[in-house]
Structure formats: C-alpha cells, structure tokens
Amino acid sequence: MARKDAEQVLKAVPLFQGLSRQELREVAAEAREELFSPNQDIVSEGQAGGPFFCITEGRADVIVEGKKVGDLGPGAYFGEMSLFEGGSRSATVRATTHVKALAITSWNFLAILQESWEITKKVLAELSKRVRDLEHTPDA
C-alpha cells in the first residue's frame, strides 16, 4: 500500500484525526500492510497486546468467549489501546475473507510519541475526550 493511501486510511481513525498532514505522514511511515487468509486469527482473545490494526480490505468476525459479537470491514480498526499498554486482547478477530490491514506496533508508535510532543499532545487530547465521553454516558 502506498504511503499516501496509508495516510488516508489512518486519517479516518479518531485517535489520529487531530494530526496534521505531516504528523499523519510520520505515523503512516511506521504502518505496514499485513495479509490474512480466511479463518486466520488476526488477534486472539487473551493474547498479550500486539499491534493496532486498521482493515483496508476484507471482512472479519469479532469473537468473545467463542461467540460472534460483531463483524468488521474496511475502515474498522482495533487494538488502539495496545499501542499504549500491553494488556490482553478482549476478543478474537478472525478473518472471514482475505483481509488486508495496516498494522502499527506499539514500540514504533511510542517512539513517535517520544520524538514529537505535538503528536503526543493531540493523541492525549483524543484519549481524554474518550474518557470524558464515557464518564457522561448513562448506564444501560
């Protein structure tokens, strides 16, 4: 996938929406394309951390405790919290078709944050917004 295309894909991810074109370019430079076959697990429930993924082509099921709880397609992303902490995966994501996805490892992303206070500030602002939104969500 061309770097320009990777930038466009990542621009749609809320975590990266506040970044400038140059900042997005820096993040996209660390993304790599990964390919998955039908029935291949992209991530496994209980597995420690791992990369952030954004699906660019194909479809995948989200499975929790052996039960399908959702499905993902192009533009869907998961694993953004594992960019910051190595907690275990809360679900298995299994390709149902051939899947292409952009992947960013935590060590590459953390290196970007360490080098750029501007990117760090914008990412922290988005994370803070998410926490604030959760605090104001009524209990179901």
Residue range 56-99, pLDDT digits in tens: 999 999 999 999 999 999 999 998 888 888 788 999 999 999 99
Q: Which residues pair with 94 in a beta bridge?
A: 41, 61
pLDDT tens across 102-126, in order? 999 999 999 999 999 999 999 999 8
Task: DSSP letter for 81, please.
Answer: G
CA distance 11 to 20: 9
Spatial strand order in the sheet of 67-72: 41-43, 92-95, 60-64, 67-72
pLDDT tens across 32-57, in order? 999 999 999 999 999 988 899 999 99
Which of 123, 132, 134, 131 has its CA nearest to residue 10? 123
User: What's the burial of 87, exposed, middle or buried (CB within 10 Å: 0-12/13-18/19+)?
Assistant: exposed
Whole-number pLDDT of residue 139: 63
Whole-number pLDDT of residue 50: 86
**Range 17-32 average pLDDT:** 93
Which of 9, 43, 42, 34 has its CA nearest to residue 24? 9
CA distance 83 to 79: 7
CATH number of 3-135: 2.60.120.10
Whole-number pLDDT of residue 135: 83
